[in-house]
Amino acid sequence: MNRSGILLFAHGARDPAWARPFETVADRLRERAAASGDEVELAYLEFMSPSIAKAASDLVRKGCTRITVVPLFLGAGGHVRKDIPQLLEDMSRQHPDVRWVLSQAVGETDVLIQGLVDAAWQLAQPED
């Protein structure tokens, strides 16, 4: 059985409240993915759990043979360009039967850029 997984990957922070929007994204994506049988996990680079290695292992344990890592970053800085590819190489060695795919950072997609424009515009409007 070929099952796909989506591994959402965020930076992490010391303040647990920082993660709430990312947890909401993961929950809503799980609802959407349920119809196709895809699995969704959320992982963090630092300060928070689970790590990307733990979340990846969870997806593999659930039978995922293709896992797309989606960086929940606004831009493709050093973490997206350097750290994540290295982490994917490590996971490929640990799980050689899995196809690993790295998507672009969500902040570089037109849909999120437009969402930021719309949100900024709305927030900048005077309250009457």
Contact 56, 88 (CB under 8 A): no
Tell me what the mean pLDDT of segment 122-128 comes to: 92
pLDDT of residue 1: 63
Contact 3, 37 (CB under 8 A): yes
pLDDT digits (tens, 9 = 90+) for 87-110: 999 999 999 999 999 999 999 999
pLDDT digits (tens, 9 = 90+) for 41-65: 999 999 999 999 999 999 999 999 9
Q: Which CATH number fits domain 3-124: 3.30.300.30, 3.40.50.720, 3.90.1150.10, 3.40.50.1400?
A: 3.40.50.1400
Contact 8, 29 (CB under 8 A): yes
Domain ranges of the chain: 3-124
Residues 52, 53, 54, 60: is their CA dihedral positive or negative? positive
Q: Which helix (H) or strand (E) holds 7?
A: strand 3-10
Lowest mean pLDDT among 36-40, 77-81, 114-118: 77-81
Q: What is the pTM of this model?
A: 0.91
DSSP string, 44-84: ESSSSSSBHHHHHHHHHHTTEEEEEEEE--SS--HIIIIIH
- What is Dmax (Cα atoms) for the chain? 59
pLDDT of residue 49: 95
